Chains A and B, each alone.
Chain A
Amino acid sequence: MTLNYMSGAKAVIKALVDNGVEVIFGYPGGAVLPLYDALFENKKIKHILVRHEQAAVHAAEGYARSTGKVGCVLVTSGPGATNAITGLTDALMDSIPIICLSGQVPTHLIGTDAFQEADTTGISRPCTKHNYLVKDANKLCEIIHKSFEIASSGRPGPVLIDLPKDIQLTNIKYVNKISKIKKYNNHSSTLDENVINKVAKLLLQAERPIIYGGGGVVNSGPQASKLLTELVNILDCPVTLTLMGLGCVPNTNKNFLGMLGMHGTYEANLAMHNCDVMLNVGARFDDRVTGRLNAFAPNSKKVHIDVDKSSINKIVSVDYGIVGDCKEVLSALVKEIKKLHNQKTIKPKTKWWSQITQWKNKDSLGFKQIGNNIKPQQAIKSLYEQTKNFDTYITTEVGQHQMWAAQYFGFSKPNHWMTSGGLGTMGYGLPSSVGVQIAHPRSLVIDISGEASFLMNMQELSTIVQYKLPIKIFILNNEWMGMVRQWQELNHGSRYSESYTASLPDFVKLAESFGITGLRVDNINNLEATIDEMINIKGPVIADIRVEKEENCFPMIPSGAAHNEMILSSDDNDKDTSNEGLALV
């Protein structure tokens, strides 16, 4: 009998183990001391002590995104929980499954403005998929089991469980996980064969088709990426991926046009603009992708596959909306197309491909490496060339370096690219790389960073050193908040208001102060050697790559413009941005 009775805190840890948790990222505090006590005795869950609660969530995101598992976070009440909010919002926007356990003041003190009390469920309600305040210890186990189901089913997302301290100390009977809990995503699980048939026909008959894949394909698992690639190959049609979808189709696939959207390639955006049939797989017509909506792929039939019904017809009206998991829908679609394909031949797309080749010949990602200054594009290109034979995981912060990484680094597999897409959180990359390296201790993990973003969560260097994580921090240092500076140049008459990163630390000495290696390079002739050295050092490295300071990120769809109004360089920026465009982010 005594076997099944335990403190709430121990039950929480047992429930985590039962749900497959191996690692938890957290930071202790008064309201979670019983939980930390239970962690102290347990042998199955490894706790990673971060240096800030926001970083705990980002680390869990990196862990989740690179493994496909649920990421787990433990923070204390009040400031612990409020610090985690940015991370939770990030996870919600990018559909990453996270369980966040937060401590809370004991139930009898809730609502009294007690020390380190915050209305955590209230604050986190709009930035979680669901949240709980556990007031009845007997429901504790069931709530944790349910939370895992909610976080990982349908469109994944963060779930927060607020645990008052007295609940953690109450003796309760442990309740096992029920084998199958009802699904929480409310979508019909049966696919309409009729629609699949119509969509298959539409794709087969299309003269200028394009497939546009997103993060939903990654979330659906590696099988979905394989199916997407298979579909592309059967149809021999162009495919483009969103920032979140990079890696779903290997960059080496001849049909891959690169990323689309605001900083996507010319060929990808023009193909989107001129297509006659568009198949959107697990993307959400984000404003970074569509540009001006009333000029978005104007003469096309659109098909949208998404696990979240609310994504369909939210921004762009589509002709066919299919609610379902990418893997299942793609599998049905590939099967149907193979069946139909045997009966009649696919229309040749020679005209479409020759048109695309013309756009490709514009070489929109071309740049000139002149002189000894390092072009940031070249830095990423060299990094890619020198690491492509390793099992490399890339995380990024947010800004120009992020876009250059997306443009110039090639991803051949899903789950190897961790970036903050929806929320655009500066400071995401370093903590995220912690999670990735914990999950993949033998792989090469690189945080491609900018000097400004790096400063936002650089306290995590301490975590990296503590756990001896051989993370390579590749800082494209131009001494500016580059993307802000670029927009000020293009839209605000080069009035660089507060976008210069003054008083930067000496990154080499900073590294040394943590007992790790710091490298610096400012000459293109030494770039390769520096990258080589960085890769070959066994431990963590900060590489301060001094790049061309005022380089802009191109190509670019100016805000408020359409896909076919891309600019390829600053010289193209002859039109003033419209007032409507200026208002956009």
Chain B
Amino acid sequence: MDQQTAAELFWSSLGPIALGALRGTIPLALVSFAVGLVLALLLALMRLSKRWWLSGVARGYISVVRGTPLLVQLFVIFYGLPSIGVLIDPWPSAVVAFSVNVGGYAAEVIRAAILSVPRGQWEAAYMIGMSHRLALRRIILPQAARVSVPPLSNTFISLVKDTSLASLILVTELFREAQQVAAFSQQFMLLYLEAALVYWVICLGLSAVQGALETRLDRYVAH
């Protein structure tokens, strides 16, 4: 391959790939993570509930989500559901699949984080007159948040990379853009390495955000 051509191709394809990241990968990851976290908190609280049916439902959900491949979940929603009359566009299909998936994984992280807060914190919250709900919101969850930042960051970083699977259900995102340029130019090695590089840069940024968040949340902990 002519060096000049490779460099030119790299720079000229960076535009569409970056755009794919900005329009596809990043918003997809952000929206799915936000929805997934809400779902996860709900599932974690259900799982911790004393009512057996609530914790049973959450347990079942988590088991199914973690026990089946994300790609299969994505295909069930996008290619499977239409056969029973449910047609969802690529983007919402991807958001649903990723949110459901994040919900299952993050639920266990949040549950463990809530359980890691010492019993005495609940008791002190009750002692000053708080209800269970108020204690959870003002005393327990803020402390659980600190503990769950590292594992949730892992979940988020995995999610960013997993959004590449959405290319298989026709979502225009980073990897699909790279694939298209690759197919056109036949420069597979270059384009796929370029895609990998862009994912890596995004994740480097996320790690920096994680570090800042941890520093902020660690301000009340002895070092």
Question: Do A and B come from the same complex?
Answer: no
Q: Which residues of A contact B (CB under 8 A)?
A: none
